[in-house]
Every structure is written in structure tokens, then in C-alpha cells.
Structure 1
Amino acid sequence: MKPVIAFVTGGYSSEAVISYKSAVTIENNLDTDKYDVYRIDITPDSWFHQTKSGEKVEVEKGDFSITLNGKKINFDAALIGIHGTPGEDGRLQGYFDLVNIPYNTCDTASSAITFNKRYSVAVAGFAGVNVARSLHIFKNHPISAEAILKELSLPVFVKPNNGGSSIGMSKVNKAEDLAGALQKAFAEDDQVLVEEFISGREFTVGVMRTTKELLVLPITEVKSKNEFFDFEAKYQGLNEEITPAQISDHMAEKVRSTVRRIYEALNCRGVVRADFIYNEAKDEPFFLEVNTIPGQSEASIIPQQVRAMGWNLKGLYTEMIEETLSRKKSS
């Protein structure tokens, strides 16, 4: 019998739209000769599988199963493709742990830590990785723009602390613009990270644990046509992505060794993508953040890196599923 896989998409946040874009690519490249795949949509209103006839079948949350034509379907593994909550912040991972279904992503604790940008860079910093100076600000304990600028030097980036896709992010060059940037970020999250700007070239690189090894994908250099790699640059084509990056072997090896260290320090699993600024004056990469469920849409970077290494997406997703299933067999 073929393994039965739940491909989980949707989500509760503004990033759900990105989840559905990724879902198109993933579904087009899953090996249905090898697996029986059922798409499960998780939305704020319901968890369901939609049949070919359009019927929405509710998920039994007690054991994460569905019933089709009187037959109960249990899943051997879950392939999580949700960006944002609850798929990227550890909540769904905790649920799958409770119902004993293996999944392709980082575990509950690692997902929660990496989803929180401040905690993520703190762990990386303890592991000896270079990170920018920053302040972690909470909505219920606000800090004035003036107080922030006593601690940090302009320019700074202001980011929602939990979340991805660069939604709500701003680069602030002038003191008078900081208050507005904080307001924009707080509209997306109750926590905000204010981080000093690091000058240099921006790189992003995927890394994954396969059944055999820790595999680092080809490095991509990101050159945004906007002032920084924001939502428009990521998803509306306002950037140039060069894969593989045209960099020296020395720089490439520094980035590769750093991303391996981050993957191990944060106890990652599955495919993640880490972002860096390489400061050439200091000849060091500075870690920005890690995405534990990186985008898989046609505009996304991981598919570019997979193709650049001579692989294909069907092979990528098959390896992800096989690694996930191997943990079930060994448990």
C-alpha cells in the first residue's frame, strides 16, 4: 500500500495567500504514483478536505482523520505547507505530536523559537554566529522612538517579530520616520524587532536534512529594486535573484558553514532557508532570520536553488516525505 500523506495548506494569518501560492507548486510536483495525497485546508473557520465534486469534508481533530464514502482515512505523515500561524510557529507541530503523526518541519520548540525573530538571532548569537544589534519591543511595554535611537544607530530595520514574507517591515533612515514604522509593524504583531542596518550583499540559502545528509543548496544573491527585500520585492518581481550567487569560494564556504551551524543550533528539520548580509569590510556573514517553511511558489527562491543544483521539485518533495516517514518507522 502507498503511504497516505496529508498535504496541509491555508493558515490563520495574512500569509495564507502565500501558502496557497506555494500549494500550487507543491501539488503539481508531488509523486502521486508513490503516495496517496489528500489536501487539507486549515482556515480560521474549519479544517477540511475538498473532494473533486466540491464537497467539504471536515477533519476529525481527535486523530486528524477524514471519512470519505464511509471509509475512515488515517494519515501516515503530514506535509505542512502553511506560512505563518499555525503552521510555522509550532502550534500545528504540537498538535501533530499529540496525535502521533510525523511531519516535515522543525519540531514544536524549534518552530516557536525560529518564528520569533529575536529569539532566533539570540540562539544563533549564542552559537557564535554574527548578528546585528537589536531591540525587542512589546506593544504592552512601548518604548519611544527617542529611547530606541539612544540604543541603536540609524538606519534601522523595523520588523514584526513573529511572521514572514516581509509583511509590515520598514527600513528607517530618518529619526522622524521611526514612529510610523513602529505603528506599521505593530499592526501585524504585538512584538517588534528593531535591528541596526548591516551594509553588504544579501544572500539567502536553503538547507535540508535528507535521509542521508545535511544538504546545503546553492546560494542565491538578492538584489532588490526597492530599498530592501520587502513584500513587493519578494512577490511582485521587484528584485533580481542570482542563483547560484557569483561569489568567491571563500565567501561561499563562510555562508555554507554558517548556515549549517544555524541549522544545528536551532535544531532544525526539513527544508529551511536562512537570510544573511555579508559585510565585506569585516569579511563575515551576519545572520538575519530563518524561514522554516520557505515559499514554494514560482516566485520563490527554494525552487530556483533546487533547479540550480540539477535536481527537480518532485525529487525535493519526495525526499522531504521519505525523511518524515523514516522518523515514523524508527519511533
Structure 2
Amino acid sequence: MTPPVKLDIDARSLGKVAVLMGGHSAEREVSLMSGGGVLAALQSAGVNAHGFDPAQQPLQALKDQGYARAFIALHGRGGEDGTIQGALEWLGLPYTGSGVMASSVAMDKTTTKRVWHNEGLSTPQYLALSRAELTRERIRQIPDELGLPVMVKPPHEGSSIGITKAAGYSEMQGAVELALGFDDELLFEQCIEGPELTCAVLGEGAAAVALPVIEIRAVAGNYDYENKYKTDTTEYLFGSLAPALEAEIQQLVLRAYRLLGCRGWGRADLMLRRSDMKPFLLEMNTSPGMTSHSLVPKAAQAVGIDYPHLCLWLLAQARLDRQA
């Protein structure tokens, strides 16, 4: 498998670059880590790159200060949901990753699942309920409909923020209250028991290529915020799946990526049902993490693309929707 990555990019031809990081979302801390890594990598490659925090400067400053393109290292609301992409379209500043529509759809886990479900892609059974619908009686009924455990999620957050795996009826109310602190509509998802997987994609359309699948083994099976970013105990395994199964998962992820209209890069998270080894799509990340613990750099490294070259290639793909 040869990724669609040219490693002979002229850094000087990319102009003055803003690495967008920080922002206002609940994932600000992670974004600052991602952005700091990207900024250092681009500068080491000779790019005229500078950090830019939209929480501290108005976006118009991007034009006023002469930036030619933007690397989006923002995560969560405002940075991954089509908002910053729309602003950059208006400013006429090419940016990395998916466009306005794909970013907006992919950031909403419920809408993403509806698209995949309607197209026949495997994704866990689910319910989407608004705050007004979530009476105590309705909450009690959810495990009867989906089975236990139930995954309770705020559909517009990332990095496992606000997510609970409710193992029993008694845990449902607390899980709902936690998630309602982040969203007014919640996603309740059938829990698929088995290995947790992730698969990154580089490119666009028919030229998009899936990178190797990573199996994630976290302490006690809990791949939460702490185990994603704060500890070194989580294991990331390559080649743990049979080749035919890995190829099946990569094709599923490519189809999911293309259906959402993603471009540049992305990363799908999945569960593999242990009972029959069937993969289930959970979500698509259109601005994946680029921290020292992040998964896309690990997958790229596995096929010979180091972190600076990955950043440089992603930056070279920056464009506007209207150039499509």
C-alpha cells in the first residue's frame, strides 16, 4: 500500500502559514498540544509557520497579517464543526482537512450515524433524544431498547468528553446528567463488546487511501480522556488482525469517509464485535489529534511517513471548497 504522500514538497512555496490551535472548545488543551507539535514540525521543515489562537485574536487578523494558508489543529466545537472552515472560506484562505459540509456532518455523531445507517454501513443501534424527552421514565426504558451496557454520549464533543458506559439501570441517570452538561440532545448507543480500533485515511475521493488499522488496548478497556492523553499505559497494536479482516475494515472506512465528503485526512473509530468479528463504525474525526499520543501520526509512521513529512503534506493539500 502506497499512501498518496509526496515527500519532496518545497516548504518555501507554501507561503506564510497559520497553525490554528487552542480555540474555545472543551478540547482546547488537546488542541494546544496538537498545534504545538504541528508548528514545531513545520518550522523544522523550513515553513514560515506561526501559531494562531482564534480565542485570542480575531480571524480577520489572518488576512491583515498576510497569511497564505492555514493548518487547522483545532478540535471540537468551533474548529472541527464547519465553523472555522466557513470563516476561512469567507476570508479566501485555503485550509487543511475537510470542507464546511463534511466537517459539520462528521462533527455531529448522530447525523453521521444516520448517513451511514441509511447507506447500509454497519454502525451500532442507537437512539437520539432531546433534553425535553429525557424524563426519568424515558431514561429507564432506554436499556430495554438497546440492551446493557449503553453508551451515553454528547454527540458534538470529541476526545471522549462527557461519555459514559452505563452498565446498569442505576447508572443511566448520572450518565445522562453528565452528557447534558455538554449537549441538549444525547446519543444513546448499543455497546459493542470487543476490540477498539481506529483507521486513518489520507487523500480525497477515489485517490483516498486507508492507513493500517490500529487496535487500542487501554487499561481496563477504558480508552477515556486520561488514557488518551495523560498516560503511557495504553497499547497501540499493528498487525493484530487477520489480513483479510484488516482489508475489510479499511474498505468500510474508505466508504464511510467518502460518503461524508471528507478530504485531506480523517480517522474513523470502530468497534470489532468479538462474537463474530464484525466491525461497527462509531465516528469520523476530520481534524484528528496530532499530539505525542495521537493515532494518525502512529499509523503514518507505520508506512514510512514521519511526523514532519505528514504535517508538510497535509499543509500542501490546503484548499477552499470553492476550488473543488
Q: CA deviation at 1:328?
A: 9.0
C-alpha contact (below 8 Å) 1:243/1:305 kept by paired residues = no
Rounded to whole Å, the distance in 1 between the matches of 2:99 and 2:67 is: 18
Matched ranges for 1:94-105 at <5 A: 94-105=86-97
Aligned to 1:86: 78
SS of structure 2 residue aligned to 1:163: coil
C-alpha contact (below 8 Å) 1:107/1:268 kept by paired residues = yes
Q: Which whole-Å deviations, capped at 9, do the CAs of 1:128-174 have from their partners, x for residues lacking one?
A: 21011111122233243223234221111111110100011110111
Q: CA deviation at 1:127?
A: 2.4
C-alpha contact (below 8 Å) 1:225/1:240 kept by paired residues = yes
SS of structure 1 residue aligned to 2:52: strand
C-alpha contact (below 8 Å) 1:210/1:319 kept by paired residues = no
Number of corresponding residues: 310
Rounded to whole Å, the distance in 2 between the matches of 1:117 and 1:289 is: 6
C-alpha contact (below 8 Å) 2:155/2:186 kept by paired residues = yes
Bigger proportion of residues as helix: 2
1:65 paired with 2:63, answer yes
Note the aligned Cα RMSD (angstroms). 2.2
Aligned to 1:182: 176
C-alpha contact (below 8 Å) 2:267/2:285 kept by paired residues = yes
Q: Which whole-Å deviations, capped at 9, do the CAs of 1:10-35 have from their partners, x for residues lacking one?
A: 11112100001112211121156553
1:7 paired with 2:19, answer yes
SS of structure 2 residue aligned to 1:251: helix
Rounded to whole Å, the distance in 2 between the matches of 1:111 and 1:182 is: 26
C-alpha contact (below 8 Å) 1:30/1:317 kept by paired residues = yes
Letter paired with 2:25: S
Rounded to whole Å, the distance in 1 between the matches of 2:290 and 2:304 is: 17
Unaligned runs of 5+ in 2: 1-11
Aligned to 1:51: none
Farther off after superposition, 228-237 or 199-208: 228-237
Rounded to whole Å, the distance in 1 between the matches of 2:167 and 2:90 is: 47
Rounded to whole Å, the distance in 2 between the matches of 1:224 and 1:261 is: 27
Q: CA deviation at 1:38?
A: 2.2
Q: Which whole-Å deviations, capped at 9, do the CAs of 1:4-57 have from their partners, x for residues lacking one?
A: 2111111111210000111221112115655321221111xx32xxxxxxxxxx
SS of structure 2 residue aligned to 1:252: helix
C-alpha contact (below 8 Å) 1:226/1:233 kept by paired residues = no
Distance change in 2, residues 1:156/1:245 (3 Å): farther
Aligned to 2:260: 266
Rounded to whole Å, the distance in 1 between the matches of 2:119 and 2:99 is: 19
TM-score (norm 1): 0.87
Structure having greater relative contact order (Cα 8 Å, sep ≥ 6): 2
SS of structure 1 residue aligned to 2:290: coil
SS of structure 2 residue aligned to 1:151: helix
Q: Which whole-Å deviations, capped at 9, do the CAs of 1:179-214 have from their partners, x for residues lacking one?
A: 000001111222211101112211101111179931
Rounded to whole Å, the distance in 1 between the matches of 2:260 and 2:206 is: 20
Letter paired with 1:12: H
Rounded to whole Å, the distance in 2 between the matches of 1:328 and 1:95 is: 12
Q: CA deviation at 1:330?
A: 5.6
C-alpha contact (below 8 Å) 1:243/1:308 kept by paired residues = no
C-alpha contact (below 8 Å) 2:72/2:97 kept by paired residues = yes
Residue from 281, 290, 296 that aligns with 2:284: 290
SS of structure 1 residue aligned to 2:20: strand
Letter paired with 2:20: V
Distance change in 2, residues 1:13/1:179 (3 Å): same
Aligned to 2:98: 106
1:16 paired with 2:28, answer yes
C-alpha contact (below 8 Å) 1:124/1:262 kept by paired residues = yes
Letter paired with 1:268: C
Rounded to whole Å, the distance in 2 between the matches of 1:292 and 1:13 is: 15
Letter paired with 1:89: D
Q: Which whole-Å deviations, capped at 9, do the CAs of 1:237-256 have from their partners, x for residues lacking one?
A: 27533342411111101110
